[in-house]
């Protein structure tokens, strides 16, 4: 069993088919002649032209995902995020934001008519893989997990895409790493991520730079210094470095381009229509955070997929700047959910509404 990322064992059968996936716009067409290089060190010249800022195609209102980040770094902590399409984005989803309260839900609790967007949200990022691929984040080896002690603590999330899948920039930015990690360490050690691209994005978050990292690539199609547009094809997926099979390893880093500055990508990737996220803190009375407890979410007011994850494993795994959570669930359908944690043979429960395009925060206090 390798020390790094997971493999292709998780696959489509555990990931629902995308039904309401965000529309994608490939800014540049893939090269007409597929590149066949297998070694990141001997890549042919990149075939995708640098995107000139003045030539950035305007967003297509019918296919763009939910929010467009306006790339204006400012001193204010909140990003400037402008809804680009109020028809297909947030307002549409409000229909499911106020679920019919089923008998099982406590009748004394009246949800707000519509959750208000929180200033803590920072769903800046688009899926880094094409819409017709495995767009859902892998649930078997989530951020902060060791996959039942079999792998290193995970500093990112996986997308279970096959070899050679187009990898897309999650947001516009500047390429600061493009190649491999045979000499420079970007992960736990050299030759850990194999073919790797790191983008520094154009907008600061709370005054800090934001980076995304794409690893195990079979081909790198950009070079250091390039300005890339949102969802531009930057690479192709593979299994280079420490990987048991083809997939994309995707990281978000805040404050510094460092393995110790990762955040949970689930709280940065824009949820699909009608869905939100749950972030939570599971802690003991002394404030300590037990590692890798099972966390599940069951919808109480209607049918929905089961969601499960584990609490983060150790201190090198950071909570989000806004949430300071130690677990997160993504792409949760709007509804009313019971969150359960098992600790010392006792089950702890909390209940929360989930709203589209929002993060619901849950605190579960364990007995010592
Ligand atoms: Zn990984």
Distance 94 CA to ligand 1 centre (A): 34
Distance 157 CA to ligand 1 centre (A): 5
- State how many domains the chain has: 2
Are 258 and 292 members of one domain?
A: no
pLDDT in the model for residue 304: 81
Among 224, 252, 273, residue at a domain's last position:
273
Distance 42 CA to ligand 1 centre (A): 24
Distance 120 CA to ligand 1 centre (A): 26
109 SS3 class: coil
3-state secondary structure 301-325: CCCCCCEEEECCCCCCCCCCCCCCC
Q: 292 pLDDT exceeds 50?
A: yes
Q: In which residue are the tokens 């030539």 written?
A: 55
Distance 114 CA to ligand 1 centre (A): 35
Distance 5 CA to ligand 1 centre (A): 4
Are 308 and 163 members of one domain?
A: no
Q: How confident is the model at residue 110 (pLDDT cuts 50, 70, 90)?
A: very low
Percent of the chain with pLDDT strictly greater than 90: 64
Q: Which of 63, 99, 22, 35 is nearest to 271 (CA)?
A: 22
Q: Which of 24, 96, 18 is nearest to 66 (CA)?
A: 24
pLDDT in the model for residue 64: 40
Both tokens of 103, joined, read: 């008998």
Are 285 and 265 members of one domain?
A: no
Distance 249 CA to ligand 1 centre (A): 4
Out of 57-71, 155-169, 344-358, which region has the weakest mean confidence (pLDDT)? 57-71
Does residue 52 fall inside a structural domain?
A: no
Q: Which domain holds residue 357?
A: 275-365
Out of 83-87, 133-137, 324-328, 339-343, which region has the weakest mean confidence (pLDDT)? 83-87
Distance 317 CA to ligand 1 centre (A): 14
Q: 208 pLDDT exceeds 80?
A: yes
Distance 110 CA to ligand 1 centre (A): 40
More confident residue, 343 or 28: 343
Listed in sequence order, the residues at least 6 apart from 110 whose beta carbon sits closer than 8 Å to its beta carbon are none
Are 264 and 308 members of one domain?
A: no
Both tokens of 165, joined, read: 């899948």
Are 255 and 316 members of one domain?
A: no
Are 308 and 170 members of one domain?
A: no
Does residue 114 fall inside a structural domain?
A: yes
Out of 48-62, 169-183, 264-278, which region has the weakest mean confidence (pLDDT)? 48-62
Distance 215 CA to ligand 1 centre (A): 8
159 SS3 class: strand
Mean pLDDT confidence for 140-156: 94
Is residue 104 within 8 Å of 300, Cβ to Cβ?
yes
Mean pLDDT confidence for 98-121: 49
Are 189 and 231 members of one domain?
A: yes
Are 138 and 267 members of one domain?
A: yes
Are 225 and 332 members of one domain?
A: no
Are 239 and 332 members of one domain?
A: no
Mean pLDDT confidence for 298-317: 89
pLDDT in the model for residue 117: 60
Q: How many helices (H) and strands (E) does the chain have?
A: 1, 19
Give the Cα separation of 158 and 147 in Å (integer).
Answer: 12
Q: Strand 359-365 and strand 275-283: pairing? A: parallel
């Amino acid at each position: 069993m390798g020390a790094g990322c997971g493999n292709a064992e998780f696959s489509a059968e555990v990931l629902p088919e995308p039904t309401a996936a965000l529309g994608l716009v490939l800014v540049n067409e893939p090269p007409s002649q597929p590149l066949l290089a297998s070694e990141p060190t001997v890549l042919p010249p990149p075939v995708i032209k640098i995107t000139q800022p003045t030539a950035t195609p305007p967003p297509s209102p019918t296919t763009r995902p939910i929010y467009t980040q306006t790339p204006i770094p400012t001193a204010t902590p909140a990003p400037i995020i402008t809804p680009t399409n109020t028809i297909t984005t947030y307002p549409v989803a409000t229909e499911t934001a106020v679920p019919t309260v089923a008998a099982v839900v406590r009748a004394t609790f009246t949800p707000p008519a519509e959750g208000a967007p929180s200033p803590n949200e920072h769903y800046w990022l688009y899926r880094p893989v094409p819409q017709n691929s495995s767009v859902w984040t892998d649930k078997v080896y989530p951020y902060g997990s060791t996959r039942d002690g079999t792998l290193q603590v995970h500093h990112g999330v996986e997308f279970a895409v096959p070899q050679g899948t187009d990898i897309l920039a999650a947001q516009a930015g500047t390429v600061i790493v493009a190649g491999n990690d045979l000499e420079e360490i970007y992960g736990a050690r050299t030759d850990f991520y194999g073919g790797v691209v790191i983008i520094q994005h154009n907008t600061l978050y709370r005054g800090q730079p934001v980076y995304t990292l794409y690893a195990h690539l079979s081909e790198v199609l950009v070079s250091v210094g390039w300005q890339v547009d949102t969802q531009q094809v930057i690479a192709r997926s593979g299994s280079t470095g420490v990987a048991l099979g083809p997939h994309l390893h995707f990281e978000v880093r805040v404050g510094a381009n460092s393995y110790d500055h990762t955040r949970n990508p689930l709280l940065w990737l824009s949820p699909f229509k009608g869905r939100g996220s749950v972030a939570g803190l599971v802690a003991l009375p002394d404030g300590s955070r037990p590692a890798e407890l099972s966390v599940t979410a069951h919808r109480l007011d209607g049918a929905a997929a089961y969601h499960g994850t584990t609490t983060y494993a150790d201190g090198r795994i950071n909570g989000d700047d806004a949430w300071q959570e130690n677990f997160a669930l993504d792409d949760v359908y709007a509804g009313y959910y019971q969150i359960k944690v098992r600790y010392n043979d006792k089950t702890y429960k909390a209940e929360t509404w989930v709203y589209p395009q929002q993060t619901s925060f849950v605190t579960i206090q364990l007995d010592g």
